[in-house]
Every structure is written in structure tokens, then in C-alpha cells.
Amino acid sequence: MKITEKDTTLTPLTIVKIGGNVVDNAQLLDQVLHQFIKLQGLKLLVHGGGKLATQLGEKLGLQAQMVGGRRLTDAAMLQVVTMVYGGEINKTIVALLQAAGCNALGLTGADGNLIPAHKRQKGALDWGFVGDFDPVSINTGLLQSLFAAGITPVVAPLTHDGQGSLLNTNADTIASGLAVALSPFYPTTLTYCFEKKGVLLDVEDEASVISRITPEDYSQYKVQGVIAEGMLPKLDNAFAALQAGVVQVRICHALDIAHPQTGTALCL
């Protein structure tokens, strides 16, 4: 049964997205997951895994092609990301959460029709099997049912087109979309965590964390070329989430999930 906004207004939800460099480090991943399960309220985890997908692709003779921090995905690379994201990484995280006493369920966008999407239209660039979606299409009823049953969803960055094809979809975008879709039902916090302490003015200087970024700041940083290319999808999605009603968005080190005053806060 779908939970209504009135039923869940006071129930906080934290959506955490972890990146490939966290997933690739077994010790760090274990520490992060133990912090994740201690978060108060409802929880949902979204994971990436691009580094592992790139490594497997190279072993198979496939060279990764990235544009603006996003992966071009032909049919062969789609097979790779499906195996890595929906298989090894997703199920490893679920198994680790189960071992820590957190009842988790791994999902792709195809499972339970969670995230219907469409193949990105060809323009100047052919993205291949890359999926785009509208947050309103997300099956929030499925997630609400899982939360009500005490189950923590673990979402892989794969969507589907309704015609039998999986689509590679940026994990930052999925995390933002889920936050937007669920924010009418829960006060939602979105946390992007990775191996850095936040958004850095100098990627080589861990002390150069930008504590607060507004849309105006972000525009200026982009013009100046200050922010690393791979950070741009996170920030684009972070501001989109805030504008759509998500309560808080933060970018921080993976070990600082439970410390809300750390990292970079995004503000409108």
C-alpha cells in the first residue's frame, strides 16, 4: 500500500551516494557501510563503480570513453557495466550490509519498474545505451513499501527502457532523481560521498575545501575551470535536487557521512 505524504512527514530519509573509488577500496567501503547503517531514520544507498567497469573493460579490450565525467556506452560496454554495477558491486554491498545486520535489497532501475527511462537522443554526440529519466516516473510506491518492511534499498546505476534493454545512467543523477521523487513523502537529505573531503578549489590540496557553494558561485567556478570535470555531474544534480525540494545536499568524504558539518554544503 502506498504511503501518503501525511503518514511520513516526520520520517527523515537520507540518500547516500558512494563513488567508484570508495567501492574499489574494500577497507574503506566496509567502514563507510558501518557508518551508513548507523544513520537515523530511513536510508537508501546509491552506488557507482565506474573505475571497476573501466578496469574490466580494459581487460576485455574496451577503452572507456568519457565526456564531461559521463561514460559513452556502446553495446559491449553496456554488458560490462551491467555485470559490474548490477552484479558484483551491488551484491557485494548487499552482502556486507547483511553481515552488519542491515536488511538490504539490491535493485537496478528495471527491478520492480523502479526507474523507467529512455535512451538518450543522438545529437552531436552518440551516447549509445545511456538512459535519461524524469523523477516523476520513479516507482516511489515500491520504495515506500520496502521502507515500511524495514528493508534498505541499494540501487545500482542502471535504468531500463521498457522494451527489454538496460541503460547506463549516471549514479549521481539517479541519487538526485530518487531524492527529488521521495522528497514529497519524507524530509530528504542527499549526501554525495567520495574519497575527498568535499569540493576542492585545488584537487591536490585537501585543505582547500569549499564549505558552501551557491548557484552563482558554481557558475563562476565553471567559467574559471576551478572544479574538476568529474565533480560537475554531482554539482549539477545537487542543485537540481535543492531546486526540486530536497531539504539538504552535501558533498563530503565517505567517512564523514554521519558528520553534517563537514564537507561542502550546497545552498540556493
Look at residues 105, 4, 126, 1 and name the one whose alpha carbon lies nearest to residue 45. 105
Q: Whose grid coordinates read 546509491? A: 46
pLDDT digits (tens, 9 = 90+) for 53-100: 888 888 999 888 878 767 889 999 999 999 999 999 999 999 999 999
53-59 contacts at long range (C-beta below 8 A, 24 or more positions apart)? 53/20, 53/77, 53/80, 53/81, 53/84, 53/85, 56/80, 56/83, 56/84
Look at residues 148, 146, 263 and name the one whose alpha carbon lies nearest to residue 213. 263
Q: What is the pLDDT of residue 9?
A: 52
Q: What is the pLDDT of residue 54?
A: 85
Binding residue numbers for substrate: 49-50, 71, 168
Q: Are 32 and 98 in contact (CB under 8 A)?
A: no
Read off the C-alpha cell for 142.
515500491
Which residue ranges in the chain fall short of pLDDT 50? Answer: 1-8
Q: What is the pLDDT of residue 2?
A: 44
Domain CATH for 90:
3.40.1160.10
Binding residue numbers: 49-50, 71, 168
The pTM score is 0.91
Q: How many domains does the chain have?
A: 1
Domain that holds residue 90: 5-266
Rounded-to-integer distance, Cα 168 and Cα 174, Å: 11
